[in-house]
Chain A
């Protein structure tokens, strides 16, 4: 076996999350009242478009979540146990190993062929001049960058676009075939129906968005093989690679935090509202106390404590990746602790209302026990609130990560994240000329994700909130 899979803590939780999501999906598919709102989501044009964007981010994040250790080239002595590299890599790292390994010395602008700072260069005749040296990798295939670069970029971009188009047509064709098979009609009929917008799901929007992303992706991929399309940072690392790696961090913070807080919020919220009395008093006290502490300070305090612990127990952490991973997990946990109170309060209010509703009264009149009433009558009728909170919180958490990392109480400084990128970019803006690309890259990628999540959350809320439906 050439590689050994490694499962980090956060990986395990992501897998758990995916498993839960799949289970819920299967369950929802068999229950009309759960399926109906999702159908409304995918029937909205904004909904599907944003779903495509979010899936693209999700794919990158997922690739970055499967971690392995590569086998080292040992002498052909089969008797020795295989040796694995200490470095933990993800599938994304492997897929982008070109980007990862092509390091420059320091800053270089996007598509540059020369370094951003002057260096002493030794001329062939032995003299030394100060000039911008050629990059080791970016545009190194060009003999005369000044004249060839523009044409080369254009040509490569066209090539990427062509590949993207071909791939898109193939994918679209496959999707079309699947839809046609399901609808039991000819592909031509399906295509005219989609073009005329007569399908319940706006496939045209979905396919256009997919096309846009595929073409962008292929163009970027093709160019990135020859240039640093978003430049390089202070230590010469490719910024494009960094932003792609940051996706996982953002997604993880946004999803794992809610996963962590969900059990407590649901359990305590419903219990407080349903049982009232002293249970309610205790739970209310708990969340008012937690709420009273300013969130940032609680996070700061907890992270500081973690740092103290880690610096005193450095021997427990074998690799930097593991250490960063644990810190990320801990951050999710502590963010969860500060954010469960909102949902808990919402659920408490809803449970208070529901316990007086006629069907709960009828159930008690029929002698149904408390646990069953909660499981059968209360929980299913608050799930839409949970779901709406989940998607609404996501974008806020992604933004929070950036702020926290900026204050140094976010993810580990060695971890790729948009917050860390912005943090380091702050000083770069003070340089002259300005180093703007790290910041821009982080901005574009983060903005796209958060905007997509916000728009999607709006669609989900409209679809799930019974008040807005008027039923």
Chain B
């Protein structure tokens, strides 16, 4: 412990009015050594970001630090004056934020913004500043740094912006970098690039990183040690290897078990019931007690102490009190068996095709010139063909901007397709018109990504769920409708009395259940799930995935599951279609595609996904640059400018379909080679 850089003790932070404060950080201890990466892991609302802002003393106006000490080297940061603290910020202690989009000043060039930091901290002369800026940009891997320095943030992609943020943080040669969810807003391939960059910088400069994240995969791939935070407290610290081998806190265990993956396809995911408790109250006993499976009477009465359990691992849980050590062993063996169990691998799969989209196109015109003539098209969806079968799940996978959401909305005619055909049970949907489409609406439903935006805040839950019943005239009478709504709420695992409450009274997971109930109300045969779990925490995601799976088995629904999350897809889907720039590049049964991807983009995408299990990690295939704009797709294969195995022929024409077997289609000239 000789080279401990940062030592935090008893840090306590409150937010909000003094009368009813939120104690977002409560007696937090942690330490950080030079050159290591410590991950602070937790779900939303557990106080991770507030911890980071407390360390930087950048809390919002309503926040205040009540107690504790933050020692950086020999100085206690909490005792410094504001002027002294300013020298530390960006100097010895730097920070990058989650949203590179909004974290850069839109009206200053990135060079100017980095130069500011250089001027404040680095002791170089005025003339050297531009040189240093370019040097920093080069260090974070920005091509053509001298020119990029003169550009504005909006001219850079998300990944580039995060690199600029890192360059800015490096300007003062910091000893510690606090990275608050640095890759959450980025796509996986870009995430891989940024994480790689952080690793390289750490290797070269001996930087210590405090990585704040909710993603266990990111922790496994980048951190040396981790601290699990729950409701404002650290509940477990461990080395990464030790943690994934043997998580000590019941919360950590359940968190890991609730992660979806291909291995767990056969069973249900473990869920953590309930939600993170609000932090505006005084806790008695353990904060996790209400959601804990191994809860004991003592948990509700006594606040658990901190137990060191060896090998750098510590935990805040009564189970580890000496007298109870024996319980832990039995509990661990019992718990590991829980997630196996029922194995309904192949649900009743009616093989008939319910809906077939052929060469679906959704183009948005670009207007220019004096008379606003159409000068080009944004080819959001550019020839997508999909088959949906009853009782099966087809996953549509791709990074942001690839057109997967537009494809889903195009199928539902929520945006008007510009070409192709959608046949639902032998009826062509395109060009059907608003009125005749209504009769088909009953069978095709949609669930959205953001459960907060998906419900009218001014309507009662009962009216929201019953809206389709009323609109399509299925249950014109209110009494009948309310009876049906009650059944539906029960079906998705909610109290039927919820019908008389407003959406804001529910948590994110509960809201998503209500949205599912709304979709189910009209007894659809196909549900388009547009990233239904990406706004939710891992433990809640598991609840929703379980529910979707149950419903499919019971009702024989077909899902078009739009997602960027490969592990969710691996868990839930039967088939998968990978999209890149408006087109499907590879399609086939999920296990085959994920195990043996043939398209170079699929390979790169899959390799970039952070994996917990070190044995299963693939060599990351680094993609250069970003996805091109769908208004100017590259000629030939859309992927060839970034493709590591591209040949000359790729630039000439878009590769046709290569059928590897009945169900497997790849659009790549080199699909059959190797």
Contacts and interface: CB of A to CB of B under 8 A. Distances in A.
Asked whether the complex places CB atoms of A and B closer than 8 A, the reply is: yes
Interface of A: 31-33, 357-359, 361-369, 372, 376-377, 380-381, 471
B441 interface: yes
Given A31-B458, A365-B412, A367-B442, 7 more contacts: A358-B448, A361-B448, A362-B515, A362-B519, A366-B522, A367-B437, A372-B471
A365 B453 contact: no
A363 B463 CA distance: 12
B456 A359 contact: yes
B454 A366 contact: no
B456 A366 contact: no
B502 A358 contact: no
Given A366-B522, A471-B504, A359 B455 contact: yes
Given A361-B414, A361-B446, A376-B459, A366 B502 contact: no
Interface centre among B409, B450, B467 (most CB of A within 10 A): B467
Nearest to B438: A367
Given A358-B448, A361-B448, A362-B446, A367 B456 contact: no
Nearest to B448: A358
B445 interface: yes
A274 to B, nearest CB: 14
A33 B457 contact: yes
Nearest to B457: A33
A366 B467 contact: yes
Contacts of B519: 362
A367 B412 contact: no
Contacts of A363: 467, 471
A362 B457 contact: no
Contacts of A357: 453
B461 interface: no
A365 B441 contact: yes
Given A361-B414, A365-B412, A367-B468, A381 B457 contact: yes
A367 B502 contact: no
Contacts of B458: 31, 33, 380-381
B518 interface: yes
A376 B522 CA distance: 19
Interface in B595-652: none
Contacts of A366: 441, 445, 467-468, 471-472, 518, 522
B186 interface: no
Contacts of B453: 357-359
Given A364-B414, A381-B458, A33 B448 contact: no
Interface string B55-88: 0000000000000000000000000000000000
Contacts of A380: 456, 458
List the 5 closest pairs (A to B, CB-CB), nearest first: A366-B468, A367-B441, A358-B454, A380-B458, A367-B438
A377 B409 CA distance: 20
B192 interface: no
Contacts of B446: 361-362, 365
Contacts of B441: 365-367
Nearest to B518: A362
7 contacts: A358-B453, A359-B456, A362-B448, A362-B515, A362-B518, A366-B518, A376-B459
Interface of B: 409, 412, 414, 437-438, 441-442, 444-446, 448-450, 453-459, 464, 467-468, 471-472, 502, 504, 515, 518-519, 522
A367 B472 contact: yes
Contacts of B437: 367
A365 B454 contact: no
A5 to B, nearest CB: 40
A365 B471 contact: no
Contacts of B455: 359
Nearest to B521: A366
B474 to A, nearest CB: 10
Nearest to A359: B456
A372 B459 CA distance: 13
B445 A365 contact: yes
Given A366-B471, A368-B467, A377 B414 contact: no
Contact of A362 (B442, B454, B504): B454
B471 A367 contact: yes
Nearest to A373: B471
A277 to B, nearest CB: 12
B388 to A, nearest CB: 16
Contacts of B472: 366-367
Q: Determine which residue in B412, B414, B455, B471 has the highest number of CB atoms from chain A within 10 A of its CB, and name it.
A: B471
A365 B520 CA distance: 12
B444 to A, nearest CB: 7
Contact of B456 (A365, A369, A376, A471): A376
A358 B530 CA distance: 11
A471 B503 CA distance: 12
A56 to B, nearest CB: 32
B502 A377 contact: no
Contacts of B471: 363, 366-369, 372
Contacts of B515: 362
A364 B455 CA distance: 13
A357 B458 CA distance: 14
A368 B414 CA distance: 12
A365 B459 CA distance: 17
Nearest to A366: B468
Nearest to B530: A358
A358 B409 CA distance: 11
Nearest to A357: B453
A361 B409 contact: yes
Nearest to B451: A358
B498 to A, nearest CB: 14
User: Quick one: which of B409, B448, B519 has the most chain A CB within 10 A?
Assistant: B448
A365 B444 contact: yes
Contacts of A471: 504
Given A361-B414, A366-B472, A33 B454 contact: no
Nearest to B447: A362
A285 to B, nearest CB: 15
Contacts of A381: 456-458
B156 to A, nearest CB: 26
A237 to B, nearest CB: 51
Contacts of B468: 366-368
Contacts of B456: 359, 376-377, 380-381
A435 B515 CA distance: 70
A381 B503 CA distance: 14
A31 B454 CA distance: 20
Q: Point out which of A31, A359, A366, A377 has the most chain B C-beta atoms below 10 A from its C-beta.
A: A366
A427 B445 CA distance: 73
B484 to A, nearest CB: 14
A31 B458 CA distance: 9
A381 B519 CA distance: 22
- Give the residue among B442, B458, B468 with the most A Cβ atoms within 10 A: B458
A167 to B, nearest CB: 36
A381 B458 CA distance: 7
Nearest to A378: B456
A386 to B, nearest CB: 14
A133 to B, nearest CB: 65
A359 B445 contact: no
A363 to B, nearest CB: 6
A33 B460 CA distance: 10
A414 B583 CA distance: 75
Contacts of A361: 409, 414, 446, 448
A51 B464 CA distance: 36
Nearest to B471: A368
Contacts of A359: 453-456, 464
Nearest to B455: A359
B39 to A, nearest CB: 29
Contacts of A364: 414
B319 to A, nearest CB: 38
A162 B663 CA distance: 95
Contacts of A31: 458
A213 to B, nearest CB: 31
Given A359-B453, A365-B446, A377-B456, A32 B502 contact: yes
